[in-house]
Amino acid sequence: MIIESLKTLLNGKWCIEGSSKGGEFTAYQLSRHPEDADLFIAECAMLKLGQNTPGLYEYIYTTAGDDRYGKEKAKQYRDLLLEFQVEMIKHQDDFQDKYWSNATEMYGLKFSSTFTKEILYECTVMDLVHIFQYDSEDMPDGNLFHALEEALALKDATTEAEMRRFEEKSIEVMENLYGPWHYAYLDSIASDSENMNLYSFMFQCYHEDGYYNYDFSYLREALEKDGSGASLYITEEMEPEVYGYRIADCHKEFSYSPDVLNARTAAVENTEKPLILVNGLSDIYQAAEIKESDNPNVHIFNIPSSFHDEVSLDYLDEEQFREYDQVVREALDI
């Protein structure tokens, strides 16, 4: 109705464009109402993301950052991340109560009844892999990899004061990288933070949009090699249910349906309207992007060194830009 109404006022060709979740929506809109536009553009769109989609962690722990930083430097960063994750699990008994109290008292967050302090802590530790979602060398608040190094420099604390500093710095890093509000059911403290009130997004992921598979195997292996005896509360058998622990019991009657996923992928396979997909191959969600298609109406531009927020015209090379520009001009009669 909105688009139909606007078309009575705005003549000419129409384009629907979206990035990230908006890119997923663009493909879904194409599947349901291809008549709404003459061109569809989806950027860094996780179109193949379904329930417990595999592949994200394999990428994170084996090749993440290679195209962006070079293989040697990227491996150093991956090793740094894993070292920090191991230390956080080794100190879980010391740190998790403070992390939980910060979340529930300082930030006023509320969690589902199944989302315990152990699960909150270990999910945050695992989701630190999002450090590879953006250019962590040049974040507005500082180099995130450098923050990991600063925390790890304190890990051999011997005095009570040094240990307290290590705890404070480590929790600061965890909250800055992937804070507890990503898992909250409600927050009781008013906040302008865009990270708050994410529950509607989590519920949609649980019900229809899909979410990645939690895979703690790389961390378990690293803990075993460390030899400290530290272990995870979350077992391998629990992993397929981890995302669902975020959802309130009263909402779990809405089970996952693959209809949205199937509609998105079918739209890309069968579209008769021109569709442009722009992918950042250094984004952690590249495992869920559609990188090739036999459909002549689908035009795919893969950018090897781009992260999630760099999937735009600015990062296309000259040849890609010329092709992109031609497709847009032909589709919109420019």
pLDDT digits (tens, 9 = 90+) for 170-209: 999 999 999 999 999 875 554 544 444 688 889 999 999 9
Model pLDDT, residue 10: 78
Contact 137, 145 (CB under 8 A): yes
User: Can you tell me the distance from the alpha carbon of 43 to that of 137, in angstroms, rounded to the nearest whole number?
Assistant: 23
pLDDT in tens, 50-99: 999 888 999 999 999 999 999 999 999 999 999 999 999 999 999 999 99
Average pLDDT in the chain: 92
CA distance linking residue 209 with residue 50, whole number of Å: 7
pTM for the model stands at 0.91
pLDDT digits (tens, 9 = 90+) for 91-124: 999 999 999 999 999 998 999 999 999 999 999 9
Q: At the topology level of CATH, where does 2-49+258-332 sit?
A: Rossmann fold (3.40.50)
Spell out the domain ranges in the chain.
Answer: 2-49+258-332, 52-251
What amino acid is encoded at 36 in this protein? D
Q: What DSSP string describes 129-184?
A: GGGGTS-TTS-TT--HHHHHHHHHTTTT--SHHHHHHHHHHHHHHHHHHH-GGGG-
Which value, to the nearest 10 degrees, does the dihedral of the CA atoms of residues 184, 187, 193, 196 take?
30
Distance CA 40, CA 271 (A): 10
Asked whether the predicted pLDDT for residue 135 surpasses 70, the reply is yes
